[in-house]
Amino acid sequence: MMDWKQLLSLKKFGDTKVRERKDENPSRIGFEVDYDRIIFSNAFRSLQDKTQVIPLSKTDFVHTRLTHSLEVSVVGRSIGRLAGAQIIEKYSELSNLGYTINDFGAIVAAACLCHDIGNPPFGHSGEKAIGDFFKHGAGEHFRLDLEPAQWQDLIDFEGNANGYHILTDSRPGAEGGLRISYATLGAFMKYPKESLPKKPTNEISDKKYGFFQADKSSFLDVADTLGLLKREGETLRYLRHPLTYLVEAADDICYTIIDFEDGINLGWIPEEHALEFLIKIVKNNINSVKYAQLQTKAERVSYLRALAIGSLINDVVRVFMENEEEILKGNFPFALTDKCAYVAQMKDIITISISNVYESKEVIEKEVVGYKVLHTLLEKFIAATNNKFNGTATHYDELILKLLPEQYQTENESLYLRLLNVCRFISLLTDGKALELYHSIVGR
């Protein structure tokens, strides 16, 4: 069974002494420092021009990865504080050690803030485009030169694993990466396992993987420090940090309700669906008189959205606390929203969002563009990088490499790391910058 005292570790990479909560500066606790470091990072700022659902949208009310991440963080902070209040009441020794409900809110908020920080341009299709380049595209011939798990990292390129690398990437002058507290790193890791073997299970944390082979040693340090329990089997996988369930719930709530709201504001989902699909979630809280007074579609939808999120927050906290001990033992293989009172309503909303938004002609057309852009960038930068390493670089390769930041031009003998470095560079591009680079390279 996992232990909250260990799970709330303030340790950071490179620490030489033990950090204790009671010794923290009360005006700026370590978990709040995590939030600050994430929000000031280059990788986080790039989310302002990255797709949430609708790629390359110039409509001001459509969410980007940045606005989505900020909203998930706000929801996560509320969920964390509500759960934290009950956890501290249940485990009085946490209060004696100096922990407060704000620690739980700060950890969950920081993990939520960076939950999409590793996602490449053009939404989730960007992840698929990178994987497809190696699985079926010009990068397929590298397979025989890589270990199976390294190859799996590339053909199944995963934003969560890439995010873990961004947060922990240690290099001269920046040892320990962003130096995030281990508790926040643990809460961030939705899928604490490596990419192989890839076997479908009913366990929610097996859905994807959470770290690249290149980051295995740092992952093990974090997992062991936090006391995450190792699961049985031939793959390296651990039980989730309990607060990961709260981070996941905040994301589930936001993308379900807010993507639905975006679809309505775009006119892709009829406004009457807002009341039809949300009423069962908000019926106990809605003020019918106030709702009738709202004059614009945006105001009416916004009101329903706020009420729905509030209802879902309270319910996922209920589910978490009812199953808290089983979660600590590793006996809860579900997402919290899978067991909440509104699971049917959330599924209905997601179904209509898939048909009217995610699979709309506009979204698909722009995802197709994203595939072409990312495949071209991967092909050009990988060829130039490998040709330089092999001593066969042409003048054109040298020009291409001038577009590649110095930190990604490491003289590394490992083909895997050279390929992964290019993928990391491209993953940090914004939608607009990726498109700009593409046009620079192809000449139009």
Most confident range (mean pLDDT) of 194-208, 309-323, 350-364 is: 309-323
Instruction: Report H helices in 175-241.
Output: 182-188, 216-226
Whole-number pLDDT of residue 152: 97
Higher pLDDT, 6 or 274: 6
Q: For residues 433 and 63, which has the higher predicted lDDT (pLDDT)?
A: 433
pLDDT range class, residue 60, cuts 50, 70, 90? low
Model pLDDT for residues 94-126, shown as the tens digit of each residue: 999 999 999 999 999 999 999 999 999 987 889
Chain-wide mean pLDDT for the chain?
Answer: 90
Structure-model confidence comparison of residues 128 and 288, the more confident one:
128
Sorting pLDDT into bands at 50, 70 and 90, what band is 172?
low
Q: What is the pLDDT of residues 192-233, one digit of tens each?
A: 999 988 877 888 999 999 999 999 999 999 999 999 999 877
User: Closest Cα partner for 189 from 214, 168, 171, 172?
Assistant: 168
| pTM score, whole prediction | 0.93
Residue 276 pLDDT level (bands cut at 50, 70, 90) = confident
Domain ranges within the chain, ordered by starting residue: 4-226
| Fold (CATH) for 4-226 | Hypothetical protein af1432 (1.10.3210)
List Cβ neighbours of 400 (8 Å cut-off, separation of 6 or more). Answer: 380, 381, 383, 384, 441
* Predicted confidence band of residue 83 (pLDDT cuts 50, 70, 90): very high
Three-state SS at 39: helix
**CA 44 to each of CA 212, 312, 429: distance values in angstroms, whole numbers, following the listed order:** 20, 27, 11
- Give the percent of the chain with pLDDT over 90: 67
pLDDT for position 222: 96
- The number of angstroms, rounded, from the C-alpha of 416 to the middle of its chain's C-alpha atoms is 23
pLDDT category, 135, cuts 50, 70, 90?
Answer: very high
Q: What is the pLDDT of residue 24?
A: 78
CA neighbor of 245 nearest in space, from 291, 190, 314, 202: 190
The pLDDT tens digits for 360-374 are 887 888 888 889 999
For residue 264, what pLDDT is reported? 87
Confidence of residue 177 (pLDDT cuts 50, 70, 90): confident
Give exposure, 384-413, as e/b (b: 16+ Cβ within 10 Å).
bbbbbbeeebeeebeebbeebeeebbeeee
Q: What pLDDT is recorded for position 192?
A: 95
How would residue 281 be classed by pLDDT, with cut points 50, 70 and 90?
very high
pLDDT value at 169 more than 60 = yes
pLDDT digits (tens, 9 = 90+) for 137-165: 999 999 999 999 999 999 999 999 999 99
